[in-house]
Structure 1
Amino acid sequence: MKAVIRKIGYINCVLIAFFLILWISVFLIGGIVGAYSWTLLKLVLPFIGALGLLMNLIIFIILLFKKIKSLKLAFNVMVNILMIFPILMTMNIIPLAYPNTVEHAQPSVTVNFPLKEQTVVGWGGNNVKDNLPHAIWSSERWAYDLLMEPYNINSDNNEDYGIWNKIVYSPVSGVVIATYDGEDDITPGSEDFNSLEGNYVYIEIEETGTYLLLNHLKKDSVLVKVGDKVKPGDLLGRVGNSGSTSEPHLHIHHQRQNPTKTIHPVIAEGLPLFFRDLNVSSMPRKGDVITPQN
């Protein structure tokens, strides 16, 4: 065994072990440990691997000129490629949903629908095909992007979109833990945003002690403040186009960790979110047209 370790290299053995531990944490441990591991795999390890590959290629060129062969260098390159591989998931070349299931990720919640008019699910559901931008991240595993006709019209005027300025209602009973509505609404299709979430309202759900996040609200539209107790149907604000967004829409998702205390928005354990009294499945999917009953 020691001979094998020496041949492969101690650093390579440590990196391989770390790589395997991260995958084991994602699939077998889950929770916040899995969320951190998933983030490291997709956002950190590929850059470390790319840096290592660059260094080893420089060493390879030097040894090539000196006509020296190195088996350890070959192992180094293979380990670097192994670490870079998850970038294919980050870039959605290999679309892979965060490996969690509705049955395992509990508690789930069933809430009122946050809008009162006919709505189209832009992204939503349990699988990566129906929920590509969200399901690939642990925090947004069961998130939704909600739209109204007309949408996807390539207009650079927010007012041309059906969901623009629509009232957002509280889906749950709970306490408002964070609000913000000072960020400008951006031009549809623009990348000129200041934050991922834009303007928001975050609620600690009374039933479960977990958290409901509503993002991309309109500037200066939030009607609640931190500490307010809300119940289903209370007015929260209006739909805008703030944050990282291609057009006006409402983003909503459910997670275990307090979003004001996480290191980064994607590092959290997303939890299933269902809606009551819908004309479609309680976990609607991309393309579903919802006529709210509440």
Structure 2
Amino acid sequence: MKRIIQAFGYLGSTILTAALLSWICVFLINGLPGVYAWMALKFIIPMLGFVGVLLNIFLILVSIIKKNRISDKWMPLVLCTVLASHFFLTMNIIQLAYPVRIINVHPSVTVKWPFSEQAIVGWGGDSTDNNLPHATWPSERWAYDLVMEPYNTGSTSLEDYGIWKQKVLSPVSGTVIAAFDDESDIVPGTEKFISMEGNHVYLRIDATGTYLLLNHLKQDSVTVAVGDHVNAGEVLGHVGNSGSTSEPHLHIHHQRQDPTQTLLPILAEGLPLYFEDTNAKAMPLKGTEVTPMRNEP
């Protein structure tokens, strides 16, 4: 340990230890500790690395001015640069999915399609190829963004998007733990949102006790209230363009923790989410046209 401290300095050694422990939590422990460790790797470690880079550059410059030896300053600088490079994970320059294997994560849930008609998977699946940026975040590891034709039109008019104002049906039987629709729908392609999730309905699933989140609903469209029990197929609201969204779509994902009790929305453990009674695979990928094999009640 003394050799490591001598080679990298106290700051570099401390950040290195934190980074190694975080990676161990992510790969070997998983669960909520893995979630917090992943957030540390994406935010705290690169920030500390940048501080270390600046500090070591300063120390090198001081040593040069004082004509002192600088050979012992290069290793700490290199280490802090490597640690700061975790920033590439934060910005998805390195597109690494949150490293958990779907077969090892339980419980999964299989639900009904949330529409009475065909919709298209904008993002969905287990890999970053089909589900970026969702797959890079623990809480949204197997989230979906759903759209309808026409979509990705570039129009600033909400009416030009097929999914705008479409009814959202409850995919499961469960209890409403959150229902909010006071937020304004924003102009497509803008970033003038108030919250990340926008208008939403959150359900505690009867079968598993886990949680299903449906986001970006239309203002004043939610038809349920906290405490209501809903069955699969009942109307929850209508698709909008509220929250952090580039165009009207429905965001849906499954997680273990109660979203009303988490410190931040991203600090939760995402769980696998599958669909039944459709013409597509249970976990449809980006670009899949999904048609439900049921009638709206």
Asked if TM exceeds 0.5, the reply is yes
Cα deviation per residue 1:81-113 (whole Å; 9 max; x = unaligned)? 122122112212110100112111110000001
Task: Specify the code of the residue in structure 2 equivalent to 1:73.
Answer: K
Q: Distance in 2 between matches of 1:185 and 1:236?
A: 17
The residue aligned with 1:130 is 130
Question: Which whole-Å deviations, capped at 9, do the CAs of 1:48-101 have from their partners, x for residues lacking one?
Answer: 211221222122222222222234422321232122122112212110100112
What are the residue-to-residue correspondences of 1:61-100 with 2, within 5 Å? Answer: 61-100=61-100
Residue 266 in 1 paired to residue 271 in 2? no
Identity of counterpart residues, as a percentage?
Answer: 53
TM-score by length of 2: 0.96
- Does residue 116 of structure 2 align to residue 116 of structure 1? yes
Q: 1:29 & 1:64 partners in 2: Cα distance?
A: 45
Change (3 A) 1:252 1:226: same
Separation in structure 2 between the aligned mates of residue 131 and residue 2 of structure 1, nearest angstrom: 44
Secondary structure of the residue aligned to 2:212 is strand
SS at match of 1:145: strand
Which secondary structure state, in structure 2, belongs to the residue aligned with residue 131 of structure 1? Answer: coil
- 79-88 vs 258-267, which deviates more? 79-88
Partner residue, 1:235: 235
With 163-172 and 75-84 compared, the bigger mean Cα shift is at 75-84
> 1:123-148: per-residue Cα shift (whole Å, max 9, x none)?
00111100011000000000000000
Q: Does 1:153 align with 2:150?
A: no
Q: Which ranges of structure 2 fall in alignment gaps of 5 or more residues?
A: none
Q: What one-letter code is carried by the residue in structure 2 that aligns with 1:100?
A: V
Query: TM-score, normalized by length of structure 1?
Result: 0.97
Query: Retained in 2: the 8 A contact 1:178–1:260?
Result: yes
Q: Report which stretch shifted further, 266-275 or 69-78.
A: 69-78
Aligned residues: 294
1:1-294 paired onto structure 2 within 5 Å: 2-294=2-294
Three-state SS of the structure 2 residue aligned to 1:213 is strand
- Name the Cα RMSD after superposition: 1.2
Q: Distance in 2 between matches of 1:84 and 1:193?
A: 30
What is the identity, as a one-letter code, of the residue corresponding to 1:60?
I
Deviations 1:185-230 (A, max 9, x none): 0000001111110000000001001000000000010110110001
SS at match of 1:34: helix
2:255/2:269 contact within 8 Å kept? yes
The secondary structure found in structure 1 opposite 2:33 is: helix
Distance in structure 2 (CA, Å) of the matches to 1:277 and 1:132: 26
